[in-house]
Amino acid sequence: MYAYTSTIVIISQLGGNSIPNDWLSAMIFNHEFLISFIICNSETRSWAWSPGAKFTIFYNTFIRYEYAQLCTQWCDNVEEAQNVHLIPTKEQMEYMRINNEYDYVKKRALVNYLSNSRNDLERHFHNRANNMLSSIERFEGNNLRDLLNSISTDAVSKVNEAIESPEHREEILEKSFESALIGIRAGKMEYVNDPILPILTDEINRSSNEFKGLSAAEESKLLSLNDDQKRIISDNDKKAKAEFLTTAPSINNPGVKMNEKFKGYVQSVGGAAH
Q: What is the DSSP string of 94-110?
A: HHHHHHHHHHHHHHHHH
Among 117-121, 133-137, 169-173, which stretch is predicted with the lowest mean pLDDT?
Answer: 169-173
Percent of the chain whose predicted confidence (pLDDT) is above 90? 15
22 versus 92: the higher-pLDDT residue is 92
Residue 126 Cα distances to 20, 113, 129, 250, angstroms: 133, 20, 5, 20
Q: At what angle do helices 56-164 and 227-246 cross, to 10 degrees?
A: 160
Calculate mean pLDDT across residues 61-83.
85
Among 24-28, 217-221, 241-245, which stretch is predicted with the lowest mean pLDDT?
Answer: 24-28
The per-residue pLDDT of the chain, averaged, comes to 76
63 versus 14: the higher-pLDDT residue is 63
Do the beta carbons of residue 199 and residue 159 sit within 8 Å? yes
Instruction: Look at residue 14 and tell me whether its pLDDT is greater than 70.
Output: no
Neighbours of 128 (CB within 10 A): 16
Do the beta carbons of residue 159 and residue 203 sit within 8 Å? yes
Do the beta carbons of residue 200 and residue 158 sit within 8 Å? yes
How many Å separate Cα 219 from the centre of its chain?
50
Which pLDDT score, from 0 to 100, does residue 45 have? Answer: 47
pLDDT band at 89 (very low <50, low <70, confident <90, very high): confident
pLDDT band at 98 (very low <50, low <70, confident <90, very high): very high
Calculate mean pLDDT across residues 4-10.
62
223 versus 168: the higher-pLDDT residue is 223
204 versus 135: the higher-pLDDT residue is 135
Neighbours of 194 (CB within 10 A): 19
Q: 212-233 pLDDT, tens per residue?
A: 777 777 777 777 888 888 899 9
* One-character DSSP codes across 250-269: ----HHHHT-HHHHHHHHHH
103: Cα within 13 Å, side-chain hemisphere = 6
Q: What is the DSSP letter of 126?
A: H
155 exposure class (CB count in 10 Å sphere: 0-12, 13-18, 19+): buried
Domain boundaries, the chain: 2-54, 165-194
Residue 124 CA to residue 51 CA, distance in Å, equals: 105
- Dihedral angle computed from the Cα positions of residues 184, 187, 192 and 195, in that order, rounded to the nearest 10 degrees: 40
